[in-house]
């Protein structure tokens, strides 16, 4: 049994990682900014409480991220965690497939975090995963009540169940540090139009959708599927199975804000 710290352990992915690690018998600490939400209160952005949470932890899963602020605080968050992780024998950083191919500000910040982890002395694994089913569900849920849902229907995705990613993380963190692990994607690459068809068959919404054209390099990259890894279609739960099981309300990510 090891002592494991999970940052982001209250999030969509992190809480599933916490479950997996506890099932495997680890003593799991969960860092959260909110008292009572985890086992340890702390703020990675300022560093408050981070050293206390990391002291004596031999495994660390770093799944915290501030998507609402487009990942801008993530760099300081990762620096603070690495500074506190000197006793860890393995730290796993959760990243995203294609961040080096898509010029999206959030991805640039994730890439900078990967670099910090790579340059550190902390033995580590970086795991890049594709978009979670939960994220696609959140996006569709957000527009499904509009009379005409504007969506980039020609974007490609390879959505994966956060539960499958959590299992992969638990397997990896129990093993030796790999540096960069093989990417991890869902079982199918589909356009958003195809994903929407499945969603609509189950929920009868949105009644109508219209393709919004997304110009520039970001639009081209998603149309091209630069965010996918078809050679690593290792997740097992399909989008159709996820929608049928419909745990949509469980996903709490909020849209980016500029502050
Ligand atoms: N969503 C996707 O489709 C997807 C795909 C591939 C990879 N990823 C990556 O997977 C990871 C988890 O994503 P997710 O969607 O599960 O995240 P999420 O649900 O948005 O959760 C974010 C987590 O970060 C924590 N956090 C944020 N700022 C913090 C701070 N200053 N101090 C301490 N904790 C902080 C939050 O904890 P509290 O609010 O409790 O403090 C929360 O647990 C991220 O690195 C993301 O980039 C996501």
Is the C-beta atom of 12 inside 6 A of ligand 1?
yes
3-state helix, strand, coil in the chain (%, to 5): 40, 20, 45
CA distance 195 to 12: 20
The model's pLDDT over 11-64, given as tens digits with 9 standing for 90+, comes to 999 999 999 999 999 999 999 999 999 999 999 999 999 999 999 999 999 999
Please report the atom of ligand 1 found closest to the CA of residue 45: 31
Query: Tell me, what's the pLDDT at 248?
Result: 53
Closest C-alpha to 243, from 214, 207, 200, 212: 200
pLDDT, averaged across the chain: 95
The model's pLDDT over 50-59, given as tens digits with 9 standing for 90+, comes to 999 999 999 9
Q: Which of 13, 45, 68 to mutate to test the pocket of ligand 1 (most atoms within 8 A of CB)?
A: 13
Residue 255, domain member (yes or no):
no
Residue 258, domain member (yes or no):
no
Residue 214, domain member (yes or no):
yes
Residue 16 structural domain? 3-250
The answer to whether 222 and 136 are in contact (CB under 8 A) is: no
CA distance 16 to 180: 22
Is the C-beta atom of 131 inside 6 A of ligand 1?
yes
Residue appearing with tokens 């982001």: 8
- Measure Cα distances from 180 to 71, 94, 106, 120 in Å: 21, 11, 20, 14
Task: Categorize the per-residue pLDDT at 253 as very low, low, confident or very high, splitting at 50, 70 and 90.
Answer: very low
Q: What is the CA radius of gyration of the chain?
A: 18
Residue 54, domain member (yes or no):
yes
Residue 102, domain member (yes or no):
yes
Please report the atom of ligand 1 found closest to the CA of residue 253: 20
Q: How many domains, the chain?
A: 1
Residue nearest to atom 11 of ligand 1 (CA): 63
Is the C-beta atom of 37 inside 6 A of ligand 1?
yes
Query: Tell me, what's the pLDDT at 250?
Result: 47
Residue 259, domain member (yes or no):
no
- Whether cis (ω within 30° of 0) applies to the bond prior to 206 is yes
The CA 201 to ligand 1 mean position distance, Å, reads 30
Is the C-beta atom of 67 inside 6 A of ligand 1?
yes
Task: Categorize the per-residue pLDDT at 1 as very low, low, confident or very high, splitting at 50, 70 and 90.
Answer: confident
Residue 38, domain member (yes or no):
yes
Instruction: Residue 19: give its domain's CATH number.
Output: 3.40.50.720
The model's pLDDT over 156-167, given as tens digits with 9 standing for 90+, comes to 999 999 999 999
Q: Indicate if the pLDDT at residue 171 is higher than 80.
A: yes
The CA 174 to ligand 1 mean position distance, Å, reads 21
Is the C-beta atom of 78 inside 6 A of ligand 1?
no
């Amino acid at each position: 049994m090891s002592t494991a710290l999970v940052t982001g352990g209250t999030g969509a992915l992190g809480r599933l990682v916490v479950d997996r690690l506890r099932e495997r018998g680890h003593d799991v600490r969960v860092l959260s900014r909110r008292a009572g939400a985890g086992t340890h209160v702390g703020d990675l952005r300022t560093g408050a409480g981070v050293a206390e949470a990391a002291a004596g932890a031999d495994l660390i899963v770093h799944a915290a991220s501030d998507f609402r602020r487009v990942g801008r605080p993530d760099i300081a968050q990762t620096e603070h965690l690495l500074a506190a992780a000197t006793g860890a024998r393995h730290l796993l950083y959760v990243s995203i497939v294609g961040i080096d191919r898509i010029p999206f500000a959030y991805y640039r910040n994730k890439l900078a975090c990967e670099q910090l982890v790579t340059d550190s002395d902390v033995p580590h694994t970086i795991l890049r995963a594709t978009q979670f089913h939960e994220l696609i569900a959140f996006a569709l849920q957000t527009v499904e009540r509009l009379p005409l849902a504007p969506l980039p229907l020609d974007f490609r995705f390879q959505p994966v169940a956060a539960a499958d990613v959590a299992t992969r993380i638990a397997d990896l963190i129990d093993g030796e540090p790999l540096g960069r692990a093989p990417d991890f994607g869902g079982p199918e690459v589909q356009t958003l139009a195809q994903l929407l068809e499945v969603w609509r068959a189950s929920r009868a919404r949105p009644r109508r959708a219209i393709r919004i054209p997304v110009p520039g390099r970001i639009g081209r990259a998603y149309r091209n599927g630069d965010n996918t890894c078809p050679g690593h279609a290792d997740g097992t739960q399909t989008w159709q199975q996820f929608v049928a099981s419909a745990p949509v309300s469980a996903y709490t990510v909020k849209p980016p804000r500029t502050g």
